[in-house]
């Protein structure tokens, strides 16, 4: 393996996998399976865009009881079971691009997702990506995106046996991905057409429609 002086932090849903709608449908279905009746599905309005935070807010508001560790685990399994009944495909070029970066560049790769862990693993597995557990950080015990990304970076340092990375680039499709990168002073590259307009309006300067022509530019800091 080439020495990894730099790091790319990939989001998963909508960035590497065509799974945003499936995940959201499974999220609502799984809450209903837990007996939740009142679900505010305007997910963009929640303070933190993570499964653990949003599910906790909805569950505790409706059920008037704690979203305990055992309930989180049950919810995670229900969500995973739902997603596994669906076909998860890649964003064009995802597998080849990630594999090329890992094998032929000095950029390491890790994954930071607002999803819970088991569904996230299934999505990566579905598009044929190989990874070590240290490369994947999910929201099971972390509710905010900034802390998830920071943990992903620390885990990547351990995995690649380095004390620091010269460059860290966050790659994502959503406004939360961009805002997190800006808050952490990370470089950012946007993926996809769905949120392109709002991402540009909020400072994104480098983006690709998909991953087929993805390339790493010189410094890609975005406008605050």
Do 36 and 81 contact (CB within 8 A), yes or no? no
- Residue whose token pair is 């569950």: 59
Sorted by where each begins, the domain ranges of the chain are 6-18+89-208, 20-83
Q: What is the mean predicted confidence (pLDDT) over 160-173? A: 97
Task: For the chain, report the end-to-end CA distance as a whole number of angstroms.
Answer: 36
Summarised one tens digit per residue, pLDDT across range 67-113 is: 999 999 999 999 999 999 999 999 999 999 999 999 999 999 999 99
Summarised one tens digit per residue, pLDDT across range 39-48 is: 998 888 888 9
Tokens of 170: 């966050």
Confidence at residue 224, expressed as pLDDT on a 0 to 100 scale: 43
CATH fold group of domain 6-18+89-208: Rossmann fold (3.40.50)
Tokens of 1: 């393996």
3-state secondary structure of 4: coil
């Amino acid at each position: 393996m080439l020495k990894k002086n730099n790091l790319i932090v990939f989001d998963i849903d909508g960035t590497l996998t065509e799974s945003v709608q499936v995940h959201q449908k499974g999220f609502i279905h799984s809450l209903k399976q837990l007996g939740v009746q009142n679900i505010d599905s305007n997910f963009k309005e929640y303070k933190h865009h993570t499964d653990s935070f949003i599910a906790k807010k909805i569950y505790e508001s409706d059920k008037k009881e704690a979203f305990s560790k055992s309930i989180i685990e049950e919810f995670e399994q229900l969500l995973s079971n739902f997603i596994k009944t669906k076909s998860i495909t890649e964003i064009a070029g995802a597998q080849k691009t990630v594999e090329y970066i890992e094998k032929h560049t000095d950029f390491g790769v890790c994954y930071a997702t607002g999803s819970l862990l088991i569904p996230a693993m299934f999505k990566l597995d579905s598009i044929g990506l190989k990874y070590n557990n240290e490369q994947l950080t999910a929201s099971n015990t972390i509710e905010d995106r900034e802390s998830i990304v920071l943990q992903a970076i620390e885990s990547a340092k351990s995995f690649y046996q380095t004390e620091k990375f010269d460059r860290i680039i966050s790659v994502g499709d959503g406004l939360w991905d961009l805002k997190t990168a800006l808050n952490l002073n990370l470089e950012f590259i946007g993926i996809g057409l769905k949120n392109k307009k709002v991402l540009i309006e909020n400072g994104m300067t480098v983006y690709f429609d998909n991953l087929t022509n993805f390339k790493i530019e010189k410094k890609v800091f975005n406008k605050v």
